[in-house]
Structures are given as C-alpha cells and as structure tokens.
C-alpha cells in the first residue's frame, strides 16, 4: 500500500523540532513548524539551521524546495493538522535538579485553542514521569474539541551529530498511549513513521508513564556506563593500570559491549547531565529516591574527571597554573556538534583560567557560540594560533581535526611540548615519537 501523506505540525524548532520537522517533510508529509522565536523561524525558512548538525542544512533545503515544509510563529497554522508534535526543551531549573517543564505546558496551552476537531497531539520532549497525563488534561481543558483531543508520548532518542539518521532510522519507536482511542492513535503514528517501520524498526506500545521512563532510564544507563569506566580510570590511575586496555578487554564480553566505554573527560551536553538530575528529583517526589542514589555517584564521578584534568595540567606546568599558557583543543561537548551546553571542555578551560592560566580555546565549529556565551575567555581560529607559546596543550573534544594534527609541526609552535589527552583519542606513540610528553586520563605515564 502507498504511504499516507499526513498534515503535521511541530511545535519548537530547537535541536529536536528542527530535525523532526525536516525529516517528517522528507518522508512525504506536509509539515508546519512553529516557534515563538521569530529570528529562528526566519533563519529556518531561509534554509539555515540554528545549530550545526551534519546534513541538516542540505535536508532543510531539499524539504523547503518541495513546498511541504514551512516555518511560522503563528500557532493558528497548526489548525487542521492530523498530528501535532510537541518538541520543546525541558532544561534543568536554575539552582535545582528538577527539569523545567514550563515550555511543554506553554506549548500545550498555545496549541489547544487551535484543536477544533478530534486530533492527536504527540509529546516528544524528555519529561519527568507523570507529565503526559497533566499535558492531556491541559489540552482538553483548552481545546474546542475537548475530550476529542488525544495524546501519545513518543520519546526521541536522537544523538547530536547523528540526529537525522536517529530520527528516520532509530533503534526503536516507543508509543505511550492511553484511553479508548489507543489503537487508533497507534495506527496514526504508524502512518507517520510508515517508511522507517517498513524497514523493520521495532515498535513498542506502552502506557504514558512507561514511555516517559524509557527515555530517562535509557539516558541514565548510558551515563552510568560512562561513569563506570571513568571510575575504573580512577582506580587505574591509582594502580598504574591502563583503562583503555581494560575497556577493550571487558567490552569483548557481549553482555558488556564496547560502546559507551570511552574513558576520559566524561559526559556533558544538553541531555545526559540534566536528565539524570531531573530523574533523581522526580524519583524523590515519588518517594523512590533511594532507587536512584547511585545516579548521584554517576554525576560525582563524571565531575571529578574535570578536576583531575585541571590537576594534571597543573602538574605538567610544574605545580602551578599561574601565568602559564594553556591551549585548549575543543569547546563543544562532543565532536560533530557546536553544542556547548554543559561542555566538559569549556568547564576545564574556565577552571584553568580561574587558576591563573592564560587559556586559549580552539574548536572547529563551536567558536561562534562559545564567543557569544563566554565572552570572557580567549579564542583562536586555528589550532596553531591556540597553541602558540603554550606550556601545555589539553585535548578535550575528540574532533577528527585533532587526530590529524602533525605532532612534529605543532611542536615547533608551543613553548613546551606537553599534551594531555582528555578523550583517549590521540595515538600516544605518534606524539611521544615526535618528542612530546603525552599524558592521558586513566593511563600509565611512562617516565
Ligand atoms: C544522548 C543520548 O546518547 C541519546 O540517545 C539521547 O537521545 C540524547 O542524549 C537526548 O536525550 O536527547 P547526546 O547528548 O547527543 O545524546 O550525546 P552522546 O553521544 O550520548 O554523548 C554524551 C556525552 O557523553 C558526550 O559529552 C560524550 O563525549 C560523552 N561520552 C560518550 C563519553 O565520555 N564516553 C563515551 O564512551 C561516550
């Protein structure tokens, strides 16, 4: 049977919404994407993504050219759509662990007056368990269609840097549904995702609460895996062992696996750190805080890697950072992204700066946003300029550009050839062979 083209509205054009809207249009649906920020709308309508994401500009251009993708600030444009996706952010509340769900409720409230007929709203945002039920109440209260409004919770599992691939070819779909219309809601979502489902993508149908929890528990597991290997790195440092070899060896056990065992500076970004904190806060509200106390350790282990990095930099500079020149390679929280939210690299750069060093930061993509958000730091547009006269070079985000550095050429630029690999991504033999002192997190340091 031919796939059914639907009319879709997408509320929120941040990371999730912009990618979702473009991908849905590319699947053949007619999509209107709504954002309260007119500058974002204007840029997207002109084919410019608000963020750096491989392939997104090209995808936007292609989708815009079909005429099936439009952007607006006017919620009225959502009227008449078959499915409405809520894709707004849920950042960490200032000074608290809990997630700020106010954008989700604001989206529901703005959407509601335009839901005149029986229609399906689909939440994709990462939310504390229990939010979906409250969103549905709010929608029904505000919509002319009243109880004709239905809701499904369909969490998103996209990774930045692979956002398009993860949207159109995810590991699985999860539909959280509720009430008498559950079967019809599942069938409608199956039409939305007909193309990826046809390739055999698993699809799981659950209740609201389970769907909400699937998302945060998946991220909690991933964070735990990273902090586990970083805890082993701490022990390796104390025992003179090598965490890279250890990870490789334990990863051969299929039950453990090699993925997400990359020891180093740990996790950052707009998701894992705030999601584990919001999860703990929500469990506390539910009286289940004991179940998640281990996530406090996961968070603490993760943050300790950043201080360890600063300590190593200080040691390499002869015991003090005061007046020393530190080159920082990487500002984004991970490669192939210009996202600097909770970036371990920038956190270390700032700590070295506060410890009295002159810090110069380089990044292939994140410099414009870093300059805007942290104007107090110094930046350089080339690796060489960042490393000019450096007493120590810190490799903090594993961009390919940094693996491609010629250590011999860079040696000519620095003041002392000391490099600390915060991501265990450089080849120690190459750097040592070119006359550098190479140190890394969780690895022995031959003298
Ligand atoms: C993460 C999840 O991987 C996605 O599945 C999820 O959908 C997303 O959050 C979300 O909730 O929206 P993302 O934040 O894009 O995706 O980044 P990851 O690739 O998971 O990396 C997170 C951090 O962990 C990065 O700072 C990375 O450098 C670090 N990391 C990753 C390690 O330190 N070691 C590893 O082995 C892997």
Question: Which pLDDT belongs to residue 233?
Answer: 98
Q: Is residue 136 part of a domain?
A: yes
Q: Are residues 202 and 254 in the same domain?
A: no
Question: Which pLDDT belongs to residue 446?
Answer: 79
For 300, the 3-state DSSP assignment is helix
Query: What is the Cα–Cα distance from 236 to 232, expressed in whole angstroms?
Result: 6
Domain of 51, in residue numbers = 7-206
Q: Are residues 147 and 263 in the same domain?
A: no
Q: Is residue 2 part of a domain?
A: no
Choose which residue among 158, 271, 278, 343 to substitute to test ligand 1 binding: the one with the highest number of ligand atoms within 8 A of its C-beta.
Answer: 271
The pair phi, psi for residue 358, each rounded to 5°, is -95, 110
Query: What is the Cα–Cα distance from 166 to 56, expressed in whole angstroms?
Result: 13
Please confirm, yes or no, whether 271 is among the known catalytic residues. Answer: yes
Q: Are residues 254 and 379 in the same domain?
A: yes
Q: Are residues 194 and 279 in the same domain?
A: no
Q: Which residue's CA is the closest to the ligand 1 atom numbered 27?
A: 267
Q: Is residue 226 part of a domain?
A: no
Q: Are residues 268 and 198 in the same domain?
A: no
pLDDT, tens digit (0-9, with 9 covering 90-100), for 385-432: 999 999 999 999 999 999 999 999 999 999 999 999 999 999 999 999
Q: Are residues 122 and 63 in the same domain?
A: yes
pLDDT, tens digit (0-9, with 9 covering 90-100), for 351-373: 999 999 999 999 999 999 999 99
Residues 159-184: what's their mean pLDDT? 96
Question: Which pLDDT belongs to residue 2?
Answer: 62
Q: Is residue 181 part of a domain?
A: yes
pLDDT, tens digit (0-9, with 9 covering 90-100), for 115-158: 999 899 999 999 999 999 999 999 999 999 999 999 999 999 99
Q: Is residue 229 part of a domain?
A: no
Q: Are residues 97 and 161 in the same domain?
A: yes
| Residue 159 annotated as part of some ligand binding site | yes
Q: Are residues 435 and 322 in the same domain?
A: yes
Q: Are residues 254 and 195 in the same domain?
A: no
Taking CA 148 as the corner, what is the angle to CA 142 and CA 153, rounded to the nearest 5 degrees? 80
With a 6 Å cutoff on the Cβ, whether 219 touches ligand 1 is yes
Q: Is residue 224 part of a domain?
A: no
With a 6 Å cutoff on the Cβ, whether 160 touches ligand 1 is yes
Query: What is the value of pTM for the model shown?
Result: 0.96
* Alpha-helix runs per DSSP H in 123-181: 131-142, 163-168
Q: How far is the CA of 383 from the centre of ligand 1 (A)?
A: 25
With a 6 Å cutoff on the Cβ, whether 159 touches ligand 1 is yes
Q: Are residues 197 and 308 in the same domain?
A: no
Would you put residue 266 in left (φ > 0), alpha (ψ -120 to 50) or beta? left
Q: Are residues 22 and 100 in the same domain?
A: yes
Query: What is the Cα–Cα distance from 155 to 135, expressed in whole angstroms?
Result: 15
Share of the chain above pLDDT 90, in %: 97
Total domains in the chain come to: 2
| Residue 197 annotated as part of some ligand binding site | no
Last residue of a domain, one of 185, 206, 227: 206
Question: Which pLDDT belongs to residue 1?
Answer: 53
Query: What is the Cα–Cα distance from 336 to 46, expressed in whole angstroms?
Result: 23
Q: Which residue's CA is the closest to the ligand 1 atom numbered 2?
A: 159
Q: Are residues 118 and 177 in the same domain?
A: yes
Buried b vs exposed e over 358-369: b needs ≥16 C-beta within 10 Å? bbbbbbbbbbeb
Taking CA 324 as the corner, what is the angle to CA 318 and CA 328, rounded to the nearest 5 degrees? 105
Q: Among 245, 192, 163, which residue's Cα sits nearest to residue 3?
A: 192
Q: Is residue 1 part of a domain?
A: no
| Residue 447: band (very low, low, confident or very high) from pLDDT cuts 50, 70, 90 | low
Q: What is the CATH number of the domain that holds 415?
A: 3.40.50.720
Average pLDDT of the chain is 97
Question: Which pLDDT belongs to residue 50?
Answer: 86
Could you report the predicted ipTM of this complex, rounded to two decimals?
0.97
């Amino acid at each position: 049977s031919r796939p059914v083209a639907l009319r879709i509205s997408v509320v929120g054009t941040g990371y999730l919404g912009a990618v979702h809207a473009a991908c849905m249009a590319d699947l053949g649906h007619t999509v209107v994407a709504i954002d309260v920020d007119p500058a974002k709308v204007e840029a997207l309508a002109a084919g410019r993504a608000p963020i750096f994401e491989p392939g997104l500009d090209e995808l936007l251009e292609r989708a815009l050219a079909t005429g099936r993708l439009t952007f607006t600030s006017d919620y009225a444009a959502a009227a008449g759509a078959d499915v409405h996706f809520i894709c707004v952010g849920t950042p960490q509340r200032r000074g608290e662990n809990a997630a700020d769900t106010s954008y989700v409720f604001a989206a529901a409230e703005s959407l509601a007056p335009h839901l005149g007929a029986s229609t399906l709203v689909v939440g994709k945002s990462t939310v504390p368990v229990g939010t979906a039920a409250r969103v549905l109440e709010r929608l029904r209260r505000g919509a002319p269609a009243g109880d004709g409004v239905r809701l499904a919770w369909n969490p998103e599992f996209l990774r930045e840097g692979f956002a398009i691939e993860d949207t159109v070819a995810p590991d699985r779909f999860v539909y959280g549904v509720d009430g008498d219309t559950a079967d019809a809601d599942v069938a409608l979502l199956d039409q939305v995702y007909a193309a990826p489902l046809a390739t055999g993508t698993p699809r799981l149908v659950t209740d609201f609460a389970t769907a909400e929890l699937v998302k945060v528990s998946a991220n909690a597991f991933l964070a735990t895996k990273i902090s586990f290997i970083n805890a082993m790195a701490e022990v390796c440092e104390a025992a003179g062992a090598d965490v890279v070899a250890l990870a490789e060896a334990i990863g051969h056990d299929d039950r453990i696996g090699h993925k997400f065992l990359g020891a180093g500076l740990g996790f950052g970004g707009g998701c894992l750190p705030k999601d584990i904190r919001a999860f703990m806060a929500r469990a506390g509200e539910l009286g289940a805080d004991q179940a998640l106390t281990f996530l406090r350790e996961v968070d603490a282990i993760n943050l300790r890697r950043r201080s360890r990095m600063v300590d190593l930099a200080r040691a390499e500079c002869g015991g003090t950072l005061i007046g020393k020149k530190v080159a920082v390679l990487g500002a984004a929280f991970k490669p192939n992204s210009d996202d600097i939210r909770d970036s371990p690299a920038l956190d270390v750069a700032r700590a070295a700066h506060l410890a009295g060093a002159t810090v110069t930061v380089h990044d292939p993509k994140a410099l414009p946003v870093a300059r805007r958000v942290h104007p107090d730091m110094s930046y350089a547009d080339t690796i060489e300029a960042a490393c000019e006269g450096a007493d120590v070079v810190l490799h903090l985000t594993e961009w390919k550009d940094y693996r491609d550095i010629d250590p011999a050429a860079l040696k000519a630029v620095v003041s002392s050839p000391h490099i600390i690999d915060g991501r265990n991504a450089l080849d120690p033999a190459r750097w040592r062979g070119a006359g550098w002192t190479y140190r890394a997190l969780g690895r022995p340091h031959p003298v």
